[in-house]
Amino acid sequence: MTAQTIVRVNLEIFTVKKEVIENRGLLLGGRSLTSCIVSGEVPPSAHPLSPENTLVISPSLLAGTSAPNVNRLSIGAKSPLTGLIKESNLGGTVPFHLAKLGIAALVLERQPKEGWFYLYVNPRGVEILPAEQYLGLWNYELVERLQRKYGPEVGIISIGPAGEQLLSAATIAGTNLEGMPSRHAGRGGLGAVMGSKRVKAIVVDSQGMDAITYADREAFQRSAKAFARKLIEKSQNTTKYGNLVLVNIINALGGLPTYNFRQGSNDFAEKLSGEYAADILPGRGGRMGHACSPGCVIRCSNIFHDAKGRYITSGLEYETVAMLGSNLGIKSLDEVAPLDRACDEIGLDTIEMGNALAVLAEAGKLEFGDSKAALALIEEVGKGTLLGRILGSGAAVTAKVFGVSRVAVCKGQGLPAYDPRALKGNGVTYATSPMGADHTAGNCLPGRGKPNPHSPEGQVEHSRDNQVRAAALDSTICLYVGHSALKEVAPLLEARYGLPVSEQDLLRLGRETLQRELAFNQLAGAPQVNDLPKFFRDEELPPNALRFDIPLEALQNLFE
C-alpha cells in the first residue's frame, strides 16, 4: 500500500526505467518529492539548462482520490531564473491521471543530442515520440492537435515558444477540466528546463486504469466528505468572486502594486475585481465559480469571455490581474484578459512579465496604461525577436539591458502582487524563502489572530510558520484550503496509505523539505537571505506612508 513508483526517462539514451520505493516513515509527494530528488541528484553547481539538471513532475500525495482539492502537480528543477532550487505548482487534469497510473514522480533526465520529442504516458508505459511537427506551435493549438490524436479526456502539459527558446520566464502549461492549457507552473522558468530536455509536451492518459486503492476506504470517505463540507462552507465568498476577491482587499490594505510599485492603491481597482467579474461574466457566457481540477470544491477560478461572448481565457487570477493590470496602469479586466491569454499561449509567467513590462515603462519603451502596446510586446516573445528574447528572460535581465535600476526582483525573480511594505510578512518570505520571491512559498495575508500586516511585529515568525505549512500543503493538497487545514489532511493520508500521520508529522515534512532546499541553495553559492530592492526600504508607499522595515538581521536568523 505504501509503495511509490518513480518513472525515469533518460532523454540522452531514450530509456524508461521504473523504480518502486518502499516508504519508511513519512511519505513524499508533490513538492517534498521534487525537492528531495532535485537536491539529491542535481549538482548544485550545474547550469540549469545543462544535461545535469533534472525536471521532476510529481502529483500530490492525495491526487486521484475522492478528497477535495487534492489534484495538484509539483514541477521541480534548478531554476534558470534564480539559479536556485525551484518547485512550481499547478492544478488541472495531469496530476489526476498520473496518480491513477500509480506514478509518484516522472523524472526527465539528461538531454537529446538532436531532435524534439513528446511523451505519451499511458497504462502500457512511456512512449518517446518525435515532435518536430509541433515545434513553434502556441499552447492552445498544440493542445488541440494532441487532443485530436489522443482524445479530449487526456491530461497534457506543454511548453510554448518561450520554452522552446529556453527563456527564463517560460512556464509549463497544463490543461484544465475543459481541456484548455490555462493552468501554469509559472514561477522560476521551468518551461525553459523542459525545453532544454527538448520535450514539447507530455500527454498523460489513465483511461482504463482501476480506481485508487485505500488502506481504509470507509474512513477516507468519512474524512473526505466532512472536509469537503467544511471547505464549501468557508469558501462561499471565494467561490462567488474567485481569488480576484483579493483585488479590492489588497487595494484597501494599500498593498496593490500600481505603476511599478509606486503606489499601493488606486481608484480603478474596482474594474479589476472579482466583484466586477461576477457582475459582467454571466451575461457574456462566462462564469465565476469554476473548478480548475477534478474534485475542487472551492472553485476560485473563472472562465472569461469578452463583451461579444467570445472565450478569452480561464484562470484569470489575482496575481495576473495585479501585475499585468494595476502594476502597469491598465485599468480593466477586458484589457488584462488578452494579455493573460497571450502569456498562456506563448508560455510566460504573468508575474514575471508584469515586472519586465514595468521595466520597459521605466525605460520609456512602454506607456503605463497602454494595453495594446503591452500585448504587442508580449507577442514579440512569441515571435522570437531580439526584444522578445530580452523580455522573456525576465525583469532582472530586461533591467540590465535597458539600464533601469528600479526593478522589483529578489533572488533574480520578479516580486508577486503583494507590496512588501504593506504586507510585511510577504516581504520576509520573498527575502528568505528558498523559492525566491514567490508568494505561494508563504503568503502572509491578514486575518484573525495574525499580525497586523503594516507592522513589523511578529512578521518573521508568521512567515516562517507559513513557509513550513506551505511546503507541507504543496506536498498534499491545494494551498487554498488554508494553512490551518493540515489537521484535516493528516487523517486522509492515514486512511489512504495505512501509515500513522499527524499534523505534527506534516509540519516535520514541511521543515525537512525547506532544509533540503536551503542546503541545496547554499551549495549552489546563494546566500540564505537576499534583501529586497533598496527602494522598498527607502521609499514611503502611498497611501499609508509605509516602508519595509524588518531588520536584515532578523531575516538572516529566520531559519535558525
Q: Can you give the pLDDT at residue 527? A: 80
Confidence of residue 2 (pLDDT cuts 50, 70, 90): very low
Q: Can you give the pLDDT at residue 25? A: 59
Confidence of residue 21 (pLDDT cuts 50, 70, 90): confident
- Find the distance separating the first CA and the last CA of the chain, reported in whole Å: 37
Q: Can you give the pLDDT at residue 454? A: 98
Entry pTM: 0.97
User: Is a pLDDT exceeding 60 seen at residue 1?
Assistant: no
User: Is a pLDDT exceeding 80 seen at residue 524?
Assistant: yes
- Identify the DSSP state of 77: E
The mean per-residue pLDDT over the stretch 96-101 comes to 96
Q: Can you give the pLDDT at residue 4? A: 74
Percent of the chain with pLDDT over 90: 94
Q: Can you give the pLDDT at residue 429? A: 97
Output phi, psi for 462, to 5 deg.
-60, -45
**pLDDT (tens digit, 9 = 90+) per residue, 422-477?**
999 999 999 999 999 999 999 999 988 999 999 999 999 999 999 999 999 999 99
**Identity at 22, one-letter amino acid code:** E
Q: Which domains does the chain have, with CATH numbers?
A: 3-204 (3.60.9.10)
Confidence of residue 315 (pLDDT cuts 50, 70, 90): confident
User: Is a pLDDT exceeding 60 seen at residue 297?
Assistant: yes
The mean per-residue pLDDT over the stretch 349-355 comes to 98
The mean per-residue pLDDT over the stretch 382-387 comes to 98
**pLDDT (tens digit, 9 = 90+) per residue, 461-518?**
999 999 999 999 999 999 999 999 999 999 999 999 999 999 999 999 999 999 999 9
User: Is a pLDDT exceeding 80 seen at residue 81?
Assistant: yes
**Residue 288 and residue 312 in contact, taking contact as beta carbons nearer than 8 Å:** no
**pLDDT (tens digit, 9 = 90+) per residue, 168-227?**
999 999 999 999 999 999 999 999 999 999 999 999 999 989 879 999 999 999 999 999
Please report, for residues 96, 209, 224, 301, 468, the alpha-carbon distance to residue 295 in angstroms, rounded to integers and kept in the order given. Answer: 10, 18, 11, 13, 25
Q: How many CB atoms lie within 10 A of CB 20?
A: 10
Nearest of 502, 478, 558 to residue 92 by alpha carbon: 478
The mean per-residue pLDDT over the stretch 396-404 comes to 98
The mean per-residue pLDDT over the stretch 387-404 comes to 98
Distance of alpha carbon 556 from alpha carbon 428, whole angstroms: 10
**Residue 175 and residue 211 in contact, taking contact as beta carbons nearer than 8 Å:** no
Q: Can you give the pLDDT at residue 493? A: 96
Q: Which string of DSSP letters, residue by residue, matches 407-422?
A: --EETTEE--SS-TTT
**Residue 187 and residue 343 in contact, taking contact as beta carbons nearer than 8 Å:** no
Q: Can you give the pLDDT at residue 23? A: 59
**Residue 237 and residue 208 in contact, taking contact as beta carbons nearer than 8 Å:** no
Q: Which three cell numbers stand for residue 467?
A: 513557509
Nearest of 19, 69, 3, 8 to residue 482 by alpha carbon: 69
**pLDDT (tens digit, 9 = 90+) per residue, 275-293?**
999 999 999 999 999 999 9
**Identity at 4, one-letter amino acid code:** Q
